[in-house]
A and B are shown apart, each in its own frame.
Chain A
Amino acid sequence: MASIWEYANPKKFTATAERLLPVLAVLAVVALATGLIWGFFFTPDDYRQGSTVKIIYLHVPSALMAINTWLMMLAASLIWLIRRHHVSALAARAAAPVGAVMTVIALLTGAIWGQPMWGTWWAWDPRLTSFLILFLFYLGYIALWSAIENDDTAADLTSVLCIVGSVFALLSRYAVNFWNQGLHQGASLSLDKEKNVADVFYHPLLLCIAGFVLLFVALVLLRTVTEIRARRTRALLARERMA
């Protein structure tokens, strides 16, 4: 029967991705548009924060995706190292810039939110600092990919960097906690209903998160397919020159 490993075949992956892409893209746009419009215009202002609270609809989903993208890259890197499926390595490569942009969005919206609330654009708060470090990890990862010419070597090296980097990113996350107590509030979302944000904010927020996830999947699929095609083009050109 159909197993997930069938998609290790680039042809099969491309075909499925092509079919999924329009659906995902439309869903992402619908979810994001509904969530954002609902969030921005049809939820009440917070009694303390006023209308600035509404930046939560961009801040929380992008922060969530910034971390999840790295986790997805970690999984894809492990699959590449263990089973050596090229699609997996290419997906990790395709995801990195998306994750970097998500990190930047989270940092920027956080700064814009922080200015009126905390009276400062930036503070050396544990959460903020660990996101900045995460961004540096993304930069290093992307730079290493683009610096190496041999594709397989690059995939191997970046995979190892991703694994080692994950350990150090986690370590830094808790190290900065130790170094400075912060301004940032605790988690806004949790499975424990008591700790959640109020329902009026919660439902549009969930929709926005769904939109960001769909957008991420669509972008990664698109970029992976592009990578596969680019690699095939290179192979065909090389073959033509040989003939």
Chain B
Amino acid sequence: MIALFIRDVRLAVRAGGGFGLGLAFFLIVVVLVPFALGPETALLSRIAPGVLWIGALLACLLSLDRIFALDFEDGTLDLIATSPLPLEGVCAAKALAHWVTTGLPLVVAAPVLGVLLSLPAAGYPWLVVSLLVGTPALSVIGTFGAALTVGIKRGGLLLSLLVLPLYVPTLIFGAEVARAGAGDLAVETPLVLLAAVTCVTIALLPFASAAVLRMNLR
């Protein structure tokens, strides 16, 4: 499992792996927002938490179809599936690798982009915390979506249609934490709920992903 995780991270970081692509996309989305809405600081600082969350979510979505598709095409996935490692573990390792290569960089980059959107000073810690707690759920849910669509040619668009509705609870609670934090309000309730969503998805969804993967590899 650890070997698989390290392999996935390496593949993603090395050339052509798409590491940094999500990050660049995140940057572009955030830079485009002031162009569309005007450079007014008061407005930007009010919408900054939401924009950063949406940007992180879309950037996460961008790299989802790489989780299984490449392995599926060259047959690696069949080999992994026949190995003694349970498929549930494979899905968990893949989700973790996706989070380390996509979610974690987003968490680190978010405060920098927060400066561009003049996020209020009180919001920075809560923005980072909300992304840190919320993005693992995005990766796990995305792994489920990727497992669903692995057999489909050019399934990228379908993948987003399937995965985005599943992201709704995470987005609501995550953006609420960031927004309440920026406005100096109480953040405990949404933060706890966000953590609950993340924990439950991490605990249960790898099983669903593995079941779906088995159906697709039959």
Binding site for B on A (CB under 8 A): 133, 136-137, 139-140, 143-144, 147-148, 153, 156-157, 160-161, 163-165, 168-169, 171-172, 175-176, 178-179
Let me know if B187 is at the binding interface, CB within 8 A: no
> Across the interface, do B166 and A165 meet the contact criterion of CB distance under 8 Å?
yes
> Across the interface, do A178 and B164 meet the contact criterion of CB distance under 8 Å?
no
Let me know if B173 is at the binding interface, CB within 8 A: yes
Let me know if B8 is at the binding interface, CB within 8 A: no
**Which residues from A are CB-within-8-Å of B11?**
none
Q: Which of B162, B189, B205, B216 contacts A161 (CB 8 A)?
A: B162
**Which residues from B are CB-within-8-Å of A139?**
161
Q: How far is the CA of A39 from the CA of B190 in the complex (A)?
A: 44
Q: How far is the CA of A168 from the CA of B201 in the complex (A)?
A: 10
Let me know if B148 is at the binding interface, CB within 8 A: yes
B 155-190 binary contact with A (CB < 8 Å = 1; else 0): 100100110111011001100100000000000011
Q: How far is the CA of A144 from the CA of B150 in the complex (A)?
A: 12
> Across the interface, do B169 and A171 meet the contact criterion of CB distance under 8 Å?
yes
Binding site for A on B (CB under 8 A): 144, 148-149, 151-152, 155, 158, 161-162, 164-166, 168-169, 172-173, 176, 189-190, 193, 197, 205, 208, 211-212, 215-216, 218
**Which residues from A are CB-within-8-Å of B216?**
153, 157
**Which residues from B are CB-within-8-Å of A148?**
151-152
**Which residues from B are CB-within-8-Å of A136?**
161, 164-165
Q: Which of B151, B193, B218 contacts A178 (CB 8 A)?
A: B193
Q: How far is the CA of A156 from the CA of B217 in the complex (A)?
A: 12
> Across the interface, do B215 and A144 meet the contact criterion of CB distance under 8 Å?
no
> Across the interface, do A178 and B190 meet the contact criterion of CB distance under 8 Å?
yes
Q: How many A-B residue pairs have CB under 8 A?
A: 74
> Across the interface, do B173 and A175 meet the contact criterion of CB distance under 8 Å?
yes
> Across the interface, do B158 and A153 meet the contact criterion of CB distance under 8 Å?
no
> Across the interface, do B148 and A161 meet the contact criterion of CB distance under 8 Å?
yes
A162 to chain B, nearest CB (A): 12
Residue pairs across A and B with Cβ atoms less than 8 A apart, 24 shown, are A133-B165, A136-B165, A140-B158, A144-B148, A144-B162, A147-B149, A147-B155, A153-B218, A157-B148, A160-B148, A160-B208, A160-B211, A160-B215, A161-B148, A164-B144, A164-B208, A168-B168, A168-B169, A172-B165, A172-B168, A175-B169, A175-B172, A178-B172, A178-B189
**Which residues from A are CB-within-8-Å of B193?**
175, 178
Q: How far is the CA of A140 from the CA of B164 in the complex (A)?
A: 10
Kindly report which residue of chain B lies nearest to residue A161, judged by CB atoms: B148
**Which residues from A are CB-within-8-Å of B211?**
160
Q: Which of B158, B166, B218 contacts A143 (CB 8 A)?
A: B158
> Across the interface, do A175 and B165 meet the contact criterion of CB distance under 8 Å?
no
Kindly report which residue of chain B lies nearest to residue A179, judged by CB atoms: B172
- Given A139-B161, A160-B148, A160-B211, 9 extra CB contacts under 8 A: A140-B161, A153-B215, A153-B218, A160-B212, A168-B166, A176-B172, A178-B173, A179-B172, A179-B176
> Across the interface, do B169 and A140 meet the contact criterion of CB distance under 8 Å?
no
Kindly report which residue of chain B lies nearest to residue A142, judged by CB atoms: B161
**Which residues from A are CB-within-8-Å of B148?**
144, 157, 160-161
> Across the interface, do A147 and B152 meet the contact criterion of CB distance under 8 Å?
yes
> Across the interface, do B169 and A172 meet the contact criterion of CB distance under 8 Å?
yes
**Which residues from B are CB-within-8-Å of A147?**
149, 152, 155, 158
> Across the interface, do B168 and A157 meet the contact criterion of CB distance under 8 Å?
no
> Across the interface, do B166 and A164 meet the contact criterion of CB distance under 8 Å?
yes
Q: How far is the CA of A133 from the CA of B164 in the complex (A)?
A: 10
Q: How far is the CA of A160 from the CA of B162 in the complex (A)?
A: 12
Q: How far is the CA of A56 from the CA of B75 in the complex (A)?
A: 56
Kindly report which residue of chain B lies nearest to residue A159, judged by CB atoms: B215
